[in-house]
Chains A and B, each alone.
Chain A
Amino acid sequence: GAGVSQSPSNKVTEKGKDVELRCDPISGHTALYWYRQSLGQGLEFLIYFQGNSAPDKSGLPSDRFSAERTGGSVSTLTIQRTQQEDSAVYLCASSSQGGQFFGPGTRLTVL
């Protein structure tokens, strides 16, 4: 079946602009996660959605970052007033009872 998809695959923006990144999880997966990965670095947890529960936002680096998940499926990560240090690959993952399945990521470049 279809895996996790993300869009856009690449996004170049100017400093100060807002960006929206989209994630379509695997159908039926109740959990959805957002991570950030800088070049050559590890996986930095951002936010976790589980069913209808309140999301775990403990990893969001600043109040410029927010995310929502509509209808328990698609999620959008929004970064307001982007800064150069926001440049990274943003990965989404979903899971059911077992391990997480990752999307291909969105490469964000802030000029």
Chain B
Amino acid sequence: GENVEQHPSTLSVQEGDSAVIKCTYSDSASNYFPWYKQELGKRPQLIIDIRSNVGEKKDQRIAVTLNKTAKHFSLHITETQPEDSAVYFCAAPSPGYSSASKIIFGSGTRLSIRP
């Protein structure tokens, strides 16, 4: 079945620097890749997603890139701020399901922003 691997599990960056989180997937038919942010004690929230017909998508300080050939996608956060500290989860569709239906989550990356 689909396997979504996420790296690193923890990441600490200096405020103002960039952070990059990477995920790989195994099903070449996967065509939808969302990213979620979960602050301590809060629910996961969708922050950005990308479909397989584009290679990059940006929304202010966050961007996601997709490499379909290599089957990996990455979350990029620029000019990091203290409020970016959270756990980030990537996800990809489960085999046999259409995009944006049943998805499998990565194991999460705990991002800490150092002041």
Contact = CB atoms under 8 A, between A and B. Distances in A.
Given A43-B44, A91-B43, A50 B34 contact: no
Interface in A87-108: 91, 95, 97-105
A56 interface: yes
Contacts of A42: 89, 105-108
Contact-residue size bin, chain B (C-beta under 8 Å from the other chain)? 10 to 19
B106 A100 contact: no
Contact-residue size bin, chain A (C-beta under 8 Å from the other chain)? 10 to 19
A7 B49 CA distance: 28
Nearest to B1: A58
Interface in B98-114: 100-108
Interface of B: 34, 36, 43-46, 49, 89, 100-108
